[in-house]
Structure 1
């Protein structure tokens, strides 16, 4: 399975759950595939814009929350929202006794209220995060509630995630272990490779010395006969 097909297969259940939470009971597979493709394209757009903002603003591949916010503004997810130029034209404001530059947060606050509001209550329930969930704990990965994907993996795995999904995109990464060569000259594959390369280099040097022409008395003789010198 190609990586694109795998990611589409992982995104498709999430789209189905969102449609279910929005009140849709059934639809055609072509509609689900179309919505999944649109969701994937939108996520790729946000990710690419966030990475570009990180490189442009602070020359690093690691994005910050400001880079994500700017990418969402560029995609039209945060409205109404002033541009950076418009914000710079405003006077500084006082926050907790400290003067800070003016920052338009209407779009961010509207997005947070929409995500945590009653409109998405059913989506949060399907995702495993009810009204009693702590947003800060969810962001830090400390919340004990499980999303639908984790619950589904446990349901379809009798022995647990550790044994069935380890080393895959759905599970934990496999620990790198050294390969031991039984009866070989070295203890690990890396040491055997290094010794093999060293031996090959020595053999190549010895072959070059054998095949090089030897210097004879004829080759060292002067090219011009003595009588014409």
Structure 2
């Protein structure tokens, strides 16, 4: 038979567990409310080109989101783009419906270099895909569309320029872009450099087949 002390201890444990359940329920309700707000504000799939089946099919057919395959193919191109434009970072980004894959990079560091992906809602290259044309942000801090972007606030990027990366069938699958930690204006000549790199990136992805890792050369 349990004594009074045991009863008190079990009572305290039960009360503590009930308090934990209540806290968990509040936390869960807050999460559900937040998720509902996000989903309500998100573009409907049928209205957003990022979800277009033909575009996603072109990415899959090209293997454009395969980082291990693409990086050896385009690394040197992106190094040249960064040098020609004069920025520390140059990327070949492939934008899926919810994720941006950093398929090729030059100069990237930190968590992005390890993850090789960002949420699509952070992606400036998603704007290139949606517009189907070059997108330039000379000063992310001064632009309402990018001032609160984590790539600016957390990673310290300040300016961006990107041009469409297209599949052979013309679908815009992502962007070749440059990023700088300094405010700067990008010229039409800078965009022409990126366009040339984007065209060559598509050619290499479409024509390389299987690639020998680390060489950028087709396997024998």
Q: With the length of structure 2 as denominator, give the TM-score of the two structures.
A: 0.24
Q: With the length of structure 1 as denominator, give the TM-score of the two structures.
A: 0.23
Q: Which has the higher strand share?
A: 2
